[in-house]
Structure 1
Amino acid sequence: MEKRGVVTTTVCSAPFLKPAKAQAQHEGMSSVPFVKILHPMATAPLQTVVEQVKEALPQITHALTIAGEQEEKQTSQNDREENLLTINGGVEEVFELFHERGWTDGFPIIPPTEINVRAMLSQSVYSPDTTLGLLPPAMNPVTVDKLAVNAVMAGCVPEYFPVILAAVEGLLDEDLALYSMQTATNATAPLIIVNGPIVKILCLNASGNLFGPGSRANATIGRAIRLALINIGGEIPGITDPATHGQPGKYTFCIAEAEDESPWQSLHVERGYAKEQSAVTLIGAGGPQNLFTYGCKTGEEILETFVGALCGLGHNNIIFPSGPLLVLGPEHAGTLATVSVR
């Protein structure tokens, strides 16, 4: 409406003021006025709501009828023009500078030197300046060279880069609804599931502790995606990312399927790919929940426990249409398969 010349003001509660202003800046409308109200309002008594409305009306009127003060435009992490940095110092100095500028996830990074980035780009079929799409919420272009920089920072070896490229193409699919995921108070994050021969080639963990530490491939591929979401997509915790609690999967969230141990077709084969092909699947997922089946003796009892847990009150499954993701170990999968429960 503002771009069409219609004067507007945005009314939002206090916790959402920073995300709203940041998004307005991303859209080139940093001068749009905002009116702040108390939070929460949805559960407030009617009298409180009425009082808040009365208090806000003069501010709304002022914003709509009098030219508000132009807010000083801040330079975000993604507005910087520097393509190359010269730093006198070691790895520690590089990390401190990058962290100060908001280019990290809080953990130390590998310096993205020209040599390291070129090595990463050697595994790409695209030219470095190829744009894969626009990454929300800032809607900045994702170029292959920028992606390579973040992959180096995450600690990836060049052989991981094709998986990262495929994962980013999945991120940009509208069906994933990444914009909503990036800017929600919910704790969802993109989970990467890798299938096919590439799993063994890269030594991705598809067995015990696959959601935990230990595998460089799982850890750094997932981290590269998160760094790209921060540095290219403009996802800034506490500003454009207003997640209430967050979750560990927002550091890294990458697993693989143990296809040889599964009694069923693998995920990518079910979705139309050949077994000999490698594929990446993405889903917006909350933090993993352990399902305890002690005492269950049959496949039916195991399934009943799973269904009860997946339908529990408070789960995202209740309101989101994409459905739950159930990750089974070989023992549970084998038991369910023998009794034809699927």
Structure 2
Amino acid sequence: MAEDTTQGTPHVTDHGGGVWGIKVPIPDNPLGHTLVHVLDTDRGPVLIDTGWDDPESWDTLVAGLGALSLAIADVHGVVITHHHPDHHGLSGQVREASGAWIAMHAADTEVVVRTRASEPGVWFDYMSEKLATAGAPEEHIAPLRAARASGRMRTLPGLRAAVPDREIVPAELLPLAGRRLRAIWTPGHTPGHVCLHLEEKHPGNLPGNGRLFSGDHLLPGISPHIGLYEDPSSERVTDPLGDYLDSLERIGRLQPAEVLPAHQYAFTDAQGRVRELLDHHEERLTGLRELLAAEPLTPWALAERMEWNRPWEQIPYGSRNIAVSEAEAHLRRLVKQGRAEAVPGSDPVTYRAV
């Protein structure tokens, strides 16, 4: 059903039934682009995600809308699947140019508000402490401490992210004239990630229940990062991987006819992809427990031994921080399942199999 238009704008895809996708580039990122979806409504176009806050990304979004004979000023609303800068980055600029509302789940809005209220130094302090607790070597933490001490801290993505003015309420229909778009809370990738179920007959008559805008929750060829987005002042221990796995099963039961993700490409057989991801994480958890059975490990040491898309020595600095966060998310799941435990008195804390 979906075909790329070819009249000078191959980055626009017509998915039929008043739904289009625009490939908005992400600068210096192997993902390449965010698929910003345009949903026609009786009150004007609504965007699902907006792309990274970057001049090239903005120009591409404007050109993509222009290919549909639309202008930024025509945008009626912006629905954000989650707060990450490749999804929420351009929301504020869209709102300034059009007067559109911005909707986001309350849990991710909380992250946006907290980040905006914090000085960049707070982030550096938090990351330094987290990495030290995870067992990172001092040479890895040193650049963060140096940046903090210098006061010349680079601008971090998300520090100026727009504060949404509407809340996406799980299980409720969004107030979109002439469309039935229901929010499904799918935490894990972020605390407030939502998928959006278009409860309308598939324009190509594919079997299943409508279409699903899946954000980063369900992607055809990538397992999304499961990260930690905790309030540094909170002592509550979250289980984002457990949340993600529960959310995956909920999406599998929905049985959409087609999935329109925010990266890669549209696909069918959501149930099959859900099973693949559930199996992937169970295999990973089992493998990590075997590593912990051989010797107690810190989250950093576990991340060094985990299988990534490249050898640990080739993983860039920032990506190592993400990898350690993912290792810790898996550790928390193992602990909650009673398959691992912290070694009493260890500093930094090491974990062992149970």
Rg (Cα) greater in structure? 1
Q: Work out whether the TM-score is over 0.5.
A: no
Q: TM-score, normalised by structure 2?
A: 0.29
* Structure with the higher strand share, 1 or 2: 2
Q: TM-score, normalised by structure 1?
A: 0.29
